[in-house]
Amino acid sequence: MANANVINVTDATFDAEVIKSDKPVLVDFWAPWCGPCVQLGPVIDQIADATVGRAKVAKVNIDDNAEIAARYRIRAIPALLLFKGGEVAEQLSTRSKSDIVAKLEALA
């Protein structure tokens, strides 16, 4: 079931939803065949719920949106990028919900 607080962005909507956002954005690059990506999904949903109004959370399916994945040189998934002011602020290696929420809120 889709979480209303998570935005599914595409090659066509990425700039409007992420680059031009006035809030920090966590972008989860994923694919449906990726086991670790699927396992991370509920954590991404919880992060979105925990940061409503202060940050945005977006997902990019790399199979359907290869242009964006190539632009940010995504070679392994899941990949989590934090954007602030249209730029990549950080590439996250952590999968800890509390760490990710803290990093998002520090940028807000």
Active site residues: 34, 37
Nearest Cα to 23, choosing from 98, 91, 106?
A: 106
Backbone angles phi, psi at 36, to 5 degrees: -60, -30
Full DSSP string of 42-95: HHHHHHHHHTTTT-EEEEEETTT-HHHHHHTT--SSSEEEEEETTEEEEEE---
Give the DSSP letter of residue 32.
T
